[in-house]
C-alpha cells in the first residue's frame, strides 16, 4: 500500500508522516479490531495532529512548500472522480462561491473574507460563511457577534459524504449582532484532525469519489440554492483538505496580498499553481488580487508599485487577463481593522472601511444583471 503512493508522498516529510500513520492505522484496524488497536489509533491521531502542526509551521508560502504539499492533493489527477450527478447539480444549484485564499500567512485573508461577507449581506443578500481554517479567526469574530460562547467545530460535519444542504442550514448560526442575512458555520482546532482523517480515507481509496468534492457535494444542493445568494469561504495559508475543497467549489477566487517583495513572490507562485487545480474545477478563475495593508489610502509607494507590477508580469506570463485582475481598491493599514480583529468587523463600525469594501464589492460584480 505504501509503495503505491510513495512517488507522490515522498516529497514532504510531514505529509509522509501523516500518511504513514494513517495507512498503518487503518491496515491494522482492518485486520483485527481490538480495543488495544483502537487505543493505538488514538495515538496515531495524536501523531497526525502533531505532524499537522509541523506542516502548518512550514507554511512560509515558499514555492517549494506549495508544490510539495500540493503533490499529495494532485495525486491521480488525470481523471478526477466526481460524485455521480456533479455536472447537473453544478448547473442547477451553483451560486456565487467566493473563496479567499493565499498560501502566505497574515496577508489579510480573514479581514477580507469577513468584511466582504458582511458587505455582501448589507446589500440584502443572504450569505453563508464557511471558515475552513482551524485557527478559527473568522469564527472568533462571528462568534462574538453571534454570542456563541462555546468553541465548536461544526464544520467537521460538513466534510462527510452524507452532508447536505439541510445539515448545513441546521449548523449555520445567525442572529444577535451578526450582520442581517449572514450565517456562519463555526470551526475550531478539531477540524485539523477531521481534515487529516478525510485525506487518509481518500488516499486509502475508501471514498466513492475524490475527496476534493466533499464540500461541493454538500453545497451543490437545492436547499443551499434556495436559502442563500452567495457563499464566502475563508481558508488557511496551507494546502489542506479544506483548501482543496474550497478551490473545487470556487466560482470566484480572491487572493489578498501585501504588496512587498516576499508577499508578491508568494502570490505569483500561487497564481501559477492555481492552474494545476483546474483539473478539479474547470471554472476556477482568479477573480481579483487585492492589495492589503498598503501604507497609503490613495497612492501606492514605490515598493508596493513594484510588487504590483511584478504580479501583473507573472499573471501575463500565465495568459491571464490582467487589466482588471488587481483590484483598483486596495485596503490601507488602518487601526479600525486592527482593533476589530477577532471581536467585531470594521465595516460595521467605520465609514471609511465600509466605503472601501463597497468599492471592492462593486469591482467584483458578483451578481451581474
Ligand X SMILES: Nc1ncnc2c1ncn2[C@@H]1O[C@H](COP(=O)(O)OP(=O)(O)OP(=O)(O)O)[C@@H](O)[C@H]1O
> Which of 13, 24, 29, 341 is in the footprint of ligand X by CB under 6 A?
341
Q: With beta carbons less than 8 A apart as the criterion, state whether 108 and 101 touch.
A: no
The binder of 17, among ligand X, Mg ion, none, by C-beta within 5 to 8 A per type, is: none
**Quick one: what does residue 337 bind among Mg ion, ligand X, none, with the CB cut-off 5 to 8 Å set by partner type?**
ligand X
Residue with cell 462568534: 143
CA–CA distances in Å: residue 146 to residues 9, 25, 141, 320 = 41, 39, 9, 40
User: Pick from 58, 71, 131, 133: which binds ligand X (CB under 6 A)?
Assistant: 133
> Min. distance of Cβ 337 from ligand X in angstroms?
4
Q: How far is the CB of 301 from Mg ion (least distance, A)?
A: 25
Question: CA-CA distance, 135 to 177, in Å (whole number)?
Answer: 22
Task: Give the range of 1-9, 103-111, 172-180, 187-195 binding ligand X by CB under 6 A.
Answer: 103-111
Which of 61, 121, 163, 337: binder of ligand X (CB under 6 A)?
337
Side-by-side strand order, sheet with 286-294? 182-185, 127-131, 230-234, 97-100, 252-258, 286-294, 331-332
What mask, x for binding ligand X by CB under 6 A, covers residues 286 to 305? Answer: ------xx------------
Report the distance separating Cα 240 and Cα 310, nearest Å.
27
Which residue intervals of the chain are DSSP H helices?
2-9, 13-31, 35-57, 63-73, 86-93, 109-122, 137-145, 155-158, 165-171, 190-203, 214-219, 222-227, 241-249, 261-277, 302-317, 335-340, 346-349, 351-364
333 binds ligand X (CB under 6 A): yes
- Of 12-20, 242-250, 334-342, 361-369, the window that binds ligand X (rule: CB under 6 A) is 334-342
Interface of this chain with Mg ion, residues 89 to 118, rule: CB under 5 A: 109-110
Which span sits near ligand X by CB under 6 A: 109-117, 119-127, 176-184, 208-216? 109-117
DSSP label of 213? G
Tell which one of 25, 137, 216, 287 touches Mg ion (CB under 5 A): 137
Stretch near Mg ion under the rule CB under 5 A, chosen from 68-76, 130-138, 203-211, 335-343: 130-138
**Spatial CA neighbour of 19 closest among 73, 56, 57:** 73
Q: Which residues bind ligand X (CB under 6 A)?
A: 105-111, 133, 137, 237, 292-293, 331, 333-334, 337-338, 341
Amino acid at each position: 500500500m505504501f509503495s503505491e503512493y510513495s512517488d507522490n508522498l515522498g516529497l514532504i516529510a510531514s505529509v509522509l508522516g501523516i500518511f504513514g500513520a494513517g495507512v498503518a492505522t487503518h491496515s491494522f484496524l482492518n485486520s483485527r479490531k481490538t480495543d488495544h488497536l483502537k487505543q493505538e489509533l488514538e495515538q496515531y491521531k495524536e501523531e497526525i495532529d502533531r505532524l499537522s502542526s509541523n506542516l502548518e509551521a512550514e507554511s512560509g508560502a515558499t514555492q517549494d512548500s506549495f508544490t510539495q504539499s500540493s503533490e499529495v492533493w494532485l495525486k491521480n489527477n488525470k481523471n478526477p472522480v466526481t460524485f455521480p450527478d456533479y455536472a447537473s447539480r453544478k448547473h442547477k444549484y451553483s451560486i456565487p462561491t467566493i473563496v479567499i485564499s493565499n498560501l502566505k500567512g497574515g496577508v489579510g485573508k480573514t479581514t477580507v473574507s469577513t468584511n466582504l461577507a458582511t458587505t455582501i449581506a448589507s446589500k440584502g443578500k443572504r450569505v453563508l460563511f464557511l471558515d475552513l481554517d482551524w485557527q478559527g479567526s473568522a469564527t472568533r469574530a462571528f462568534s462574538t457577534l453571534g454570542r456563541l460562547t462555546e468553541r465548536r467545530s461544526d464544520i467537521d460535519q460538513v466534510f462527510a459524504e452524507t452532508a447536505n444542504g439541510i445539515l448545513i442550514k441546521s449548523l449555520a448560526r445567525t442572529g444577535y449582532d451578526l450582520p442581517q442575512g449572514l450565517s456562519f458555520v463555526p470551526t475550531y482546532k478539531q477540524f485539523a484532525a477531521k481534515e487529516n482523517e478525510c485525506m487518509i480515507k481518500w488516499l486509502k481509496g475508501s471514498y466513492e469519489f475524490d475527496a476534493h468534492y466533499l464540500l461541493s457535494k454538500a453545497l451543490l444542493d437545492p436547499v443551499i440554492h434556495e436559502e442563500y445568494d452567495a457563499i464566502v469561504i475563508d481558508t488557511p495559508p496551507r494546502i489542506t483538505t479544506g483548501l482543496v475543497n474550497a478551490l473545487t467549489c470556487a466560482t470566484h477566487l480572491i487572493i489578498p496580498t501585501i504588496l512587498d517583495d516576499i508577499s508578491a513572490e508568494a502570490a505569483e507562485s500561487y497564481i501559477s499553481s492555481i492552474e494545476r487545480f483546474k483539473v478539479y474545477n474547470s471554472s476556477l478563475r482568479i477573480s481579483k488580487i487585492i492589495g492589503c495593508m498598503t501604507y497609503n489610502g490613495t497612492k501606492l509607494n514605490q515598493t508596493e508599485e513594484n510588487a504590483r507590477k511584478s504580479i501583473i508580469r507573472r499573471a501575463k506570463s500565465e495568459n491571464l487577463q490582467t487589466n482588471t485582475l488587481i483590484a483598483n481598491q486596495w485596503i490601507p493599514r488602518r487601526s479600525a481593522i486592527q482593533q476589530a480583529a477577532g471581536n467585531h468587523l470594521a465595516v460595521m463600525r467605520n465609514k471609511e472601511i465600509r466605503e472601501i469594501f463597497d468599492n471592492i464589492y462593486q469591482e467584483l460584480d458578483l451578481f451581474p444583471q
